[in-house]
Amino acid sequence: MKQSELYKIIGKLTQSVNEVDALIASGKTDLTIDLSACTFISVEGLEWLEEMLMRANSHQAKVKFVNIPTTIYKVFKVAHIDNILEACGSAKPTGRDATTC
């Protein structure tokens, strides 16, 4: 069974985070990313998260995001990136044509 690490992102997430990339590359650990202190995420930050999750998946490492501030969660929701939403434990966005009123 893999060990699990907790990593906390503090401040603005505007580029890749080497420590996280290293943990993923090691293939030895699942990862919990605490976003409670994340104040802003840029396009580059989003792109890194998506790409990091893809790498984690190829290493069979599980990554989950916890303590997500609403502003950051809204960015994830609007961005419509499936693997990020899955890491949040959130369902994929669904179409709106199921019901009308």
79: CB partners within 8 A, 6+ apart: 46
Query: Which residue, 5 or 50, has its beta carbon nearer to another protein?
Result: 50
Q: Which of residues 69-88 bind another protein (CB under 8 A)?
A: 71-72, 74-81
Find, among 66, 13, 15, the residue nearest to 40 by Cα.
13
SS3 call for 12: strand
Per CB under 8 A, the list member of 5, 21, 47, 86 interacting with another protein is 47
Question: H or E stretch including 71?
Answer: helix 70-79
Write the interaction track for another protein spanning residues 3-42; mark x where CB under 8 A is met and - where it is not.
-------------------------------------xxx
Residues that bind another protein (CB under 8 A): 40-44, 46-47, 71-72, 74-81
